[in-house]
Chains A and B, each alone.
Chain A
Amino acid sequence: MALNKTANEICSLCSKKFLGILNGISKRNSHFIYKPDTNLPIQGKTEKLNMFQAINNALDITLKTDKTAMIFGEDVGFGGVFRCTVGLRDKYGKERIFNTPLSEQGIAGFAIGVANMGSTAIAEMQFADYIFPAFDQIVNEAAKMRYRSAGQYDCGKLTIRAPTMAVGHGALYHSQSPESYFAHTPGLKVVIPSTAVKAKGLLLSCIRDPNPCIFFEPKILYRSASEQVPLDDYELPLGKADVLTEGTDITLIGWGTQVHVLLEVAKLAQEKFKVSCEVIDLVSILPWDSETIFKSAKKTKRVIIAHEAPLTCGFGAELATSIQEECFLNLEAPVTRVTGFDTPFPHIFEPFYLPNKWRCLDAIEKIMNY
């Protein structure tokens, strides 16, 4: 724990430098190519924004339209170590955008209390890797509050944002994908965007959803994801997957950064093996869109699920089992998972750890020849 905190503090202190390196690496040799989102959910004025700017824009809209909304966490006051809250304190005041002491359990507990009183609480965990001290507050308290009081009290106005996933050199505690820990918790919603356009619409939905939501932001996309984002207010549905590319031979399911890996893999599979891939961005981990997934699996009869988190009990396991139960008669091959390994997330070995396009392509080849 003490080491955790130290790493956390160091990150906040050298964030600009950290981001500089991050940016450089993601341009030089990242494991994916970002595919801009051209699917605009609404008409109207747009601006080229990256993911952190789109998130900042969503928070700005929230603060403007919801007078009870407040944002807090470690270092959010000056703009956040990833710049997501930049400019907001000056615009809306330090009563609404404020730093908390360095304590994740405190942030989560405090946020639940704010939401209990009917105010909108947007709490930030600096890295998803440091959400675990708040696990008790999130799992035992936030998720169960409505249920245990039979609706007398809830914290539906709570949203927790946390940067997640690999960043090139984040090692054990700046790379984790903890979504499946939370997917096992009835009462929560868990959402992960893959583009700047989605980040804005999904975050606004999470903030306004009457249930506690965890919004995991793939930190490698903060700067690399960039496209025309509508400036007006819009929401994207929670619990709804997004079919990005239609295909006939195999379904590829991913979320967050991995979506972009899979889009590239689909192209490679077409070129190399003449295989038509259907690529699905799951978007919501809990509740997840079984309808879209089953429909696709029944059509293509083959499914690969890819996620950065470790294999065992990763969310791929839930998807694979459900697909097997629902689509048993349609499947032509075993549902396959391409994931991180059952090790902690390593530093120098990251290129060998990630479920990159070559491992995914290899899996497609094997499944097609099954």
Chain B
Amino acid sequence: PPTAESIVVPFGHVIGNEKWRGSEIAQKLQGKVRLVFEDGLGLVDFHLSNRTCILYISEADLVAGDEFKRRLVRFRNASSLGGIIIVERTQISDQYFLAVQKLVVLELGMVLLPVANQAEAAQLITQLVIFCISGEIVREQSKDHSSNPFLRKQCSQLADPAVFRTVQQIPGVGKTKALLLLQQFGSIHRLCNASVKELELVVGQAVAQQIHSF
């Protein structure tokens, strides 16, 4: 039986495990995302995209014992999908939260997001879907991640002011000497390899010695 396989998720859809039909999550998701139910999703509760899926741990799962842990480990071993674990953190299940977090995030290296109830879970899943979709549109169109503000941006800052500052960190070198040295040697690498004689032509004997031994 399929347990944690990748499935094809049509664009903008969420595929839910049949067991969630009629649940509060399903009701709150419908209207916000296109939710389709399927049988045989195995360990997975919701597929958000071809690569991202959700495993839901309820308050009851947490209280019932370690069965959910086996499910997580089986998923982790069987699947290359990015698994997001949503866990119900309530007054009753709070005592288990730290241990679950340690297992999921630190040991299994998966994502764990706590919610208080199914309504909160539906709101969270909606936002995750929006980011899945925008991520995929951007990936197809431009191979750039610019829609996500947290992703690395190519930094187009000029190196010149930084180089100027770096050279001023050499003991005995201030703005004036830094500029003279850079005018003469061009790069930090060439400055580092200048001989004392070459340095003496630009700065005084003492500073030349200081730079050379730095």
User: Is B a genuine binding partner of A?
Assistant: no
